[in-house]
Each structure stands twice: as structure tokens, then as C-alpha cells.
Structure 1
């Protein structure tokens, strides 16, 4: 039985006891303070008759239980509704967050791609500028070398003559490196031939015919070979000393 039912029984029981006492007093002839005592006794008897007993108590208990269950169900329904609403709001917030994150990632990827393209463009422009500058320097050196070297070949040349030609066109701080390579490749023999590969001349060019870019007389004129060898070292290694560093590490250049 619920607390409400117990309380109801307690009140009804107290009333009933009072009423019974009044009735007994009347029956025994005890004097009463008021002429309404019989009415109070009758009212008390009526309340006593209304006390729930047996099946009536079970009905009252069932009704109270149903009310409590209904309240619990209503509370659960409200809590479930609140939870669903909170979940819906959170899902909407998550969707907005994901959308913003995707937008930010897209913007960052675009910025990175643009930065990469810009860097590649700048690198290409620098490379082209460097190539133009190198070509200009090479052309200047070639012109200088051509002006310093003899243009007419003779029948034969001594090592001293060939070295003198080289000193005339190779920068002073690069000459020793230049000379070291020629020493190892041909020992200053402008007609030296490698019997295995066919490499030819002071610099053992391979194929030998590529020295024609410096002059048609590349086979007989050491000046033409010097012009070609100096240009080759500068274009490929930056300088004769750069070529010599490579040669020492690899035994070829």
C-alpha cells in the first residue's frame, strides 16, 4: 500500500475511534457536553463505513499505482524527447562543423597548390636566367679564347707551345686544374688516340667528332681543342677546377 493510502487509513481510523467512543458514551448514559453529539456520532459512523477494506483497498492501491506509472511514463517520454532533440541539435552542429572543416581544407589545398605553382614558376625563371647568363659568359669566354688563340694551324706543335696557348685563354686561378686534367688524359698530346674507345686529343673527347663545334680543324689544331675543352669544363662543371674535382672523385670527367 502507498503512503497516501496508509495516511488515509490513519485519518479514517482516528475518526472512527472518536465516533465509536461517542456512541458508547451515549449508550452507557454518560452525560454529553452538546446536544449535537448524536449527529457527530452518526457522521463518525458514516466515515467508519467509508474506510477502504479488502477489495476497496486493492482498487485504491491499483489506482495510485497506475497514476505513478503514468507519471513515470510521461517523465520517460519527456526525457526521451529531450534526448532526441539534443541529439538532433548536436547532429546539426556536427554537420556544420564538418562542412566548415571541409571548406577550410579545400581552401588550404588550393592555397598550397597555388604556392607550389608559384614556386615552380619562379624556380624555372631563375633556371632560365642562369642558363642565359651562363651562355652569355660562355660566349664571352669563347670570343676571348678565339681572339687569343692562333687561327692558322701548322704542321706540329711542341708541348710548350700548346701550354702557352692554354695559358693565354684559361683564367690564372684555373690553369693548374686545367693542366692536371690534360696531364692525365693525354700528356698534352693533341693527337693522342685511345685504341679501345677512340677518344681523341688533349681532352680525350668521345666521340672525338664533337670537337667540331669549336672548329673544323679539331684533329690538327691544338688551339681548337683547347677552345673546346675549356668550354666543355665551364659548361658542365662550372670551371676547370670543378671538372678536376669531379675527375679526382671518379677518374673521368
Structure 2
């Protein structure tokens, strides 16, 4: 039975609509010439303790880890500096102790030397002659001129010389004169006793008659 004109037009319209819809669908699926189709990529989520972590959360965690590492590095550097300072302090203390020990040993040796000199003076034979001659027998040769310079300026080699102002007495002007009793009970009149005491005094206080003479030149007393 032949189709009516209206029925045929309705079929043509339906087919045309189906073709257009299919073409539109194909156009959406296939990239057109001259353009680039970018498909959205879903962001993967990482689960921590059963909870999803976003990309921002991962970035925050990485930043926190870097900050922790930086703090740890700073702490290690500070500890290294503290250790270096402690080592330097320990070294300085060790050096100071070594110097103190060396000085104590030198002082002990000097004291022993002075003690030996006193013993030698006390056990020396009886001396005679002028005060200058006695001094030459008692005072070491290298120190004799310095010793003589002091005695000459203090007493002009007079064992009975008295300083009217201070009361200093004898060849070396001991003050008070009774100090010389440690060298002998005859300190008032015996030049040898006065010289022995004067030499011991110069050695004990200054280290030697020449050191005492250097002080005397600067101060005009010793």
C-alpha cells in the first residue's frame, strides 16, 4: 500500500534528526582539526589512616618535613659549635695548668738554690780582710760588681753606718738592722755576716745582686 505524502515526510524528518544527532555525538568524541582536546584527569587521592589526602595536604606534609630537617641540621650545627668551644676551653685549661706547674717547679728550684746558698754561706770558713775583700770571697764573680755598686751607695763600705732618718744599719743598710741576726749574732760588727745577709736578701727578693742593682738604679733604694 503506498505511503501517504504526510507519512513519507515524517520518516524523512526522523532519519535526518538521527543523522544530525549522530554527527554531533561524533564531533564531540573526535578532536577537530586545528584544535587540541584536553581531557580532565582526576586527581588521585592518597589515603592516610583511612582518610583521603589531597595534593595540597601532601605539599603541606613535604614542607613540614623539610622544616623539621632544617631544624635538625641547625641543632647539629649548634651542638658541633658547643663541642668545639668545650674542646678549646679544655685545651686552654690544660695549657694554663702546664704553665702553672712549670712556674711552680721553677720556683721550687729557685728556692732550693737559695737554700743551698744559705747553707754554703753558713758553713764557709771564717773570712777576714776588708769588707771589699770579704765580699769578693762570698759574692759570685759575675755578681760582685753589682753588689759592690749597691753597698758603696748605701754605706760607702762602712759596716757601722746608720741612716739617721730610717735607722737602716750596716753595709747593706738592713731595716731594721736586727734582720741580719739570721746570718749571725755578730751582725752589728762583722762585715762577713752583713755581706752574707745582704747577698741572701738580694737573691731572695730580686733573684740576684745585678737584678737588685737594676731596681736600685730605677728607684734609688732596694
TM-score normalised over the length of structure 2: 0.69
Decide whether the 8 Å contact of 1:214 with 1:228 is kept in 2: yes
Cα pair distance change 1:87/1:210, threshold 3 Å: farther
Cα pair distance change 1:46/1:94, threshold 3 Å: closer
Structure 2 residue aligned with 1:198: 167
Structure 2 residue aligned with 1:59: none
Find the partner of 1:234 among 188, 195, 203: 203
Find the partner of 1:41 among 8, 11, 16: 16
Decide whether the 8 Å contact of 2:160 with 2:188 is kept in 1: yes
Structure 1 residue aligned with 2:112: 136
Structure 2 residue aligned with 1:173: 142
For residues 210 and 111 of structure 2, the distance between their equivalents in structure 1, rounded to whole angstroms, comes to 19
Find the partner of 1:246 among 204, 207, 215: 215
TM-score normalised over the length of structure 1: 0.61
Structure 2 residue aligned with 1:101: 77
For residues 39 and 235 of structure 1, the distance between their equivalents in structure 2, rounded to whole angstroms, comes to 136
Decide whether the 8 Å contact of 2:122 with 2:183 is kept in 1: no
Gaps of 5+ in 2: 1-8, 23-39, 44-53
Query: Which of the pair is proportionally richer in helix?
Result: 1
Cα pair distance change 1:208/1:175, threshold 3 Å: same
Structural mapping, 1:153-172, within 5 Å: 161-172=130-141
Structural mapping, 1:73-88, within 5 Å: 78-79=55-56, 81-82=58-59, 84-88=60-64
Structure 2 residue aligned with 1:219: 188
Decide whether the 8 Å contact of 1:187 with 1:202 is kept in 2: yes
Q: Deviations over 1:123-167 (max 9, x none)?
A: 23222221222122222322333344637xxxxx9xx61111100
* Matched pairs, number: 189
Gaps of 5+ in 1: 1-26, 28-35, 48-66, 72-76, 152-156
Structural mapping, 1:13-24, within 5 Å: none
Cα pair distance change 1:141/1:87, threshold 3 Å: same
Q: Deviations over 1:192-220 (max 9, x none)?
A: 22222222222222333332322233222
Find the partner of 1:124 among 94, 97, 100: 100
Cα pair distance change 1:245/1:78, threshold 3 Å: same
